[in-house]
Amino acid sequence: MARKISKNRNNTPMFLEKDTNSKNITGWIEVICGSMFSGKTEELIRRLNRARIARQKVEIFKPQIDKRYSEEDVVSHNANSIRSIPVQSASQILFYANEFDVIGIDEAQFFDMELSSVCSHLANHGVRVIVAGLDMDFQGNPFGPMPQLLAIAEYVTKVHAICMQCGNLAQYSHRTIAGDKLVLLGETESYEPLCRACYIRSRRQPLKEQSE
Ligand code: ZN
């Protein structure tokens, strides 16, 4: 008798997290993506903490650009934090990344385009690489190296926030103040998660000026 596999509506096996455990297999890449306030970093921390409990050697990297909370921590919005190494470029991860079983990368959208080849290199050398990042910028465009990472990853988890206007699942990070600068650091209050319909409607309305 065929083994039962839980399936989603598209009738494809649902992946939540890698469930095989063989020492013979090589490394792999997992991507956790979604909008702001979707719990990406919380999910990254959950996976890394479990690996750490199992005494796997774990290290976390984030781009130096992200100074919202503290230099040394990957910090999620619920203040559940984990220490990390800030690096200025993706290739610097290779410099630090010897001898680790699991490598986490947070805020991946802010890294340079070399990040996908860095992750491939690590995975090819037996490392479990877990990447978390925004898949779209506030204009709804693919963000930085995220499209490449999504293409090369074995496993992709898209997490959703809740639309602040209607309560549906949200995938857009809508900026609530004017300006076209791509990165607004330390200003999570300037964004709201929206679903597609509310995002389209909100983009048609004029934004407040930042000085207000
Ligand atoms: Zn909505």
Report yes or no on 23 lying in a domain: no
Q: What is the pLDDT of residue 131?
A: 98
Q: What is the pLDDT of residue 87?
A: 92
Report yes or no on 165 lying in a domain: no
Residues catalogued as catalytic: 107
pLDDT in tens, 31-63: 999 999 999 999 999 999 999 999 999 999 999
DSSP code of residue 4: P
Report yes or no on 207 lying in a domain: no
37: CATH: 3.40.50.300
Domain of 151, in residue numbers: 28-159
Q: Among 136, 137, 135, 205, which residue's Cα sits nearest to residue 177?
A: 205
Cα 196 to middle of ligand 1, angstroms: 7
Q: Are the C-beta atoms of 115 and 90 separated by less than 8 Å?
A: yes
Cα 201 to middle of ligand 1, angstroms: 9
Q: What is the pLDDT of residue 180?
A: 67
**How many domains are contained in the chain?**
1
Report yes or no on 39 lying in a domain: yes
Cα 156 to middle of ligand 1, angstroms: 24
Cα 166 to middle of ligand 1, angstroms: 4
CA 143 to chain centre: 11
The long-range contacts involving 149-153, CB below 8 angstroms and separated by at least 24 positions, are 149/29, 149/31, 149/108, 149/115, 149/116, 149/119, 150/31, 150/33, 151/116, 152/29, 152/116, 152/119, 152/120, 153/29, 153/30, 153/31
Report yes or no on 151 lying in a domain: yes
Cα 107 to middle of ligand 1, angstroms: 25
Residue 6 pLDDT exceeds 50: no
Cα 210 to middle of ligand 1, angstroms: 24
pLDDT band at 29; cut points 50, 70, 90:
very high
Residue 98 pLDDT exceeds 90: no
Report yes or no on 202 lying in a domain: no
Report yes or no on 130 lying in a domain: yes
Cα 162 to middle of ligand 1, angstroms: 8
> Span 96-101, mean pLDDT?
80
pLDDT band at 23; cut points 50, 70, 90:
low
